[in-house]
A and B are shown apart, each in its own frame.
Chain A
Amino acid sequence: AQKITQTQPGMFVQEKEAVTLDCTYDTSDPSYGLFWYKQPSSGEMIFLIYQGSYDQQNATEGRYSLNFQKARKSANLVISASQLGDSAMYFCAMREVSGGYQKVTFGTGTKLQVIP
């Protein structure tokens, strides 16, 4: 079974609109961390936002927020007021302890294109 599932290979959004990128995860461990990274065409992955499994509130970082629904094992990224510079690949990732080490598993990514 996939640890991280991103079901949207590609998405379009109008500039200034909000967009939600879906992410579901699979783990039996009660302790884990969830991350979103952005990868522009330049190639460098950039950290956006973090949510801990014990966090009571949804994480927010500027225009980014994470809609964390623990019972459904989903961690969707919401980008408000989209900008042209938001066009990029977005990866959801989960950090958990495995074999005595912390391991990070990435999803397959969603390509977001912002339309002027």
Chain B
Amino acid sequence: DVKVTQSSRYLVKRTGEKVFLECVQDMDHENMFWYRQDPGLGLRLIYFSYDVKMKEKGDIPEGYSVSREKKERFSLILESASTNQTSMYLCASSSPQGLLREKLFFGSGTQLSVL
């Protein structure tokens, strides 16, 4: 079974802190993604990566950065946490498939609260 592991299930941070959210997958997937999930808004893509050291902005990258130094690990960084970044953060990975049928494998999420 594909396993996507997020380092923390719950996290509480202070405004202005630098926050690291870690994600590791064990199935040698090329593609990795960070989403945030907010009630009534669904999932919104923050950043994604199709290869080591490669990153692309998603729909809401402001206030975030990412790092992918190894294939299995994709980190989301909040440079200076703000209260509007309180959210559920979901990491996902996938392997390329044809015909747009590539499905995502998700971690259990990190509920981040910024006080």
- Residues of chain A whose beta carbon lies under 8 Å from any beta carbon of chain B: 4, 9, 31-33, 35, 37, 42-47, 50, 52-54, 91, 93, 95-97, 101-104, 106-109
* A109 to B40 Cα, complex, angstroms: 8
Q: Is the CB of B100 within 8 A of A102?
A: yes
Distance in angstroms between the alpha carbons of A97 and B99 in the assembled complex: 11
> Which residues of B does A touch, CB under 8 Å?
9, 33, 35, 40-45, 48, 50, 56, 88, 90, 92, 99-109
User: How many A-B residue pairs lie within 8 Å, measured between CB atoms?
Assistant: 63
User: How far, in whole Å, are A93 and B37 apart by their CA atoms in the complex?
Assistant: 14
CB pair A35 B56 closer than 8 Å = no
Chain B residues with Cβ under 8 A from A32's Cβ? Answer: 100
| Residues on A with beta carbons closer than 8 Å to the beta carbon of B108 | 42-44
A44 touches B107 (CB 8 A): yes
Rounded to whole angstroms, the CA-CA distance of A73 and B33 in the bound complex is 27
